[in-house]
Chains A and B, each alone.
Chain A
């Protein structure tokens, strides 16, 4: 547990000093939102469904580029080797990197929600609070997939190109469920309308966090 805290603290301190990942994620979210507003014809009336869709597009696209950062940072100067040589369980390393990515993504999500409200003419109300847990579940799932896969793709020739190709199809179930659930939450539907979607997201998160936790040692090992 202390190893977990140490790695996480190190990553957060690095992030506080440079702000690299969070700013990149926020900037990408902003750009995706702007592109979507243009693409979806600004004069048309847009419903909450479009807005929640835009939110998830922003999460997936910014996440694809930003979510692997916490792990990629260790590649410079071969820090990864140092981490693996230290008495640190690879699974703990995975958990710490996952937590760091999740925190960066959450900060970006807050920004994306504000942008969504502004760009899609919604109101700042309690419906946004109901979207928050859904977004957190989605970000957790995406971070779990991306952290595991970026450890793989970072070591191939195609590199970062390959991460979206692998991660997006895997993320599809959580994406479908997330878009549907947050659309329901924004339009003020009762909890029953989204409970099935939330179950799928929880199942996805449990599955991928545990798969990553168990399989991470196989992808970071040196040989």
Chain B
């Protein structure tokens, strides 16, 4: 049952991706001010959307893990953080590739960029913690606590970075964020690619989540077997 859903979701993701690619490169009109580079936007925004959803899910999974203590939640948080990190990295790269021709620089300490970068560092730390704690039994609780604390930090980061950039005026006063999607075809393209990326996220999450689940169950089974083995060997 689960497998069937996953397969269909995979097929749907593929078609949605192809559709959004078609729309981005063939259907949508070129933006007048920014030219062809503006088309990065149609994948950049869905990447950002998915990354934030994934990081939010990490915190929710953390709360549920500490509350219910079910390994399932820890596995969900792990899978979600990993995928979120992939998408967040891609968001930073694609944004940088847009900024170079438009703003004339690869990177600027604009409020949104800074916030995203700090989030990237935070969840990079989260994944390093998971890697470093290995298979120790406390890792789930550690990860849950860090995931929750990181999410609590996000509003404070946003507030501080915004204030930081407002008082210190931005070096580049272009129409940042002012992507006036004046053409309805632009909105349609964005909506289709948002759907495509949401489907991709759901598909990857199901894939990775069930894999992490299998891994932790296998681990538990192997441990139990070792215990049984030792008990039998003692006699």
Q: Let me know if chains A and B touch directly in the complex, using CB atoms closer than 8 Å.
A: yes
Which of A35-43, A121-129, A132-140, A156-164 contacts its partner?
Answer: A156-164
How far is A47 from B148 in the complex, measured between Cα atoms in Å? 39
With an 8 A cutoff between CB atoms, is B228 at the interface? no
Q: Please report the C-alpha to C-alpha distance between residue A168 and residue B121 in the assembled complex, in whole angstroms.
A: 9
Task: Render A143-172 as a binary contact track against B, CB cut-off 8 A, 1 for contact.
Answer: 000001100110111100010011011101
A177 to B163, CA, bound (A): 9
Known contacts A219-B142, A221-B141; is-contact A173 B133 (Cβ 8 Å): no
| The residue from A169, A196, A208, A223 contacting B137, defined by CB atoms under 8 A apart | A223
Out of A157, A177, A223, which one reaches B138, CB within 8 Å?
A223
The residue of chain A having its C-beta at the shortest distance from the C-beta of B119 within the complex is A169
* Closest beta carbon of chain A to B153's beta carbon, Å: 5
B157 within 8 A of A: yes
CB of B167 within 8 A of chain A? Answer: yes
Q: Please determine whether A208 and B149 come into contact, CB atoms closer than 8 angstroms.
A: yes
The stretch of B4-12, B122-130, B196-204 in contact with A is B122-130
Q: Are B160 and A152 in contact (CB under 8 A)?
A: no
Q: Given the complex, which residues of B lie within 8 Å of A174, measured CB to CB? A: 156, 160
Q: A148-B145, A218-B144, A219-B145 are in contact. Are A169 and B125 (CB under 8 A)?
A: yes
> What distance in Å separates the Cβ of A168 from its nearest Cβ neighbour in chain B?
8
Contacting pair B145 A162 (CB below 8 A): no
Measured between alpha carbons, how far is A149 from B133 in the docked complex, in Å? 13
Interface pair A165/B164, CB less than 8 Å apart: no
Q: How distant is the Cα of A180 from the Cα of B126 in the complex, in angstroms?
A: 28
Q: Are B146 and A173 in contact (CB under 8 A)?
A: no
* B156 and A207 within 8 A (CB): yes
Contact pick for B149, options A148, A158, A176, CB 8 Å: A148
Q: Is A197 an interface residue (CB 8 A)?
A: yes
Q: Knowing that A152-B145, A156-B136, A203-B156 touch, tell me 19 more A-B residue pairs with CB under 8 angstroms.
A: A155-B138, A156-B132, A156-B134, A158-B132, A162-B125, A166-B146, A170-B122, A172-B160, A173-B161, A180-B167, A197-B163, A200-B160, A207-B152, A207-B156, A215-B145, A215-B149, A221-B138, A221-B141, A223-B137
Chain B residues engaging chain A, CB cutoff 8 angstroms: 66, 118, 121-122, 124-126, 128-129, 132-134, 136-138, 141-142, 144-146, 148-150, 152-153, 156-157, 159-161, 163-164, 167
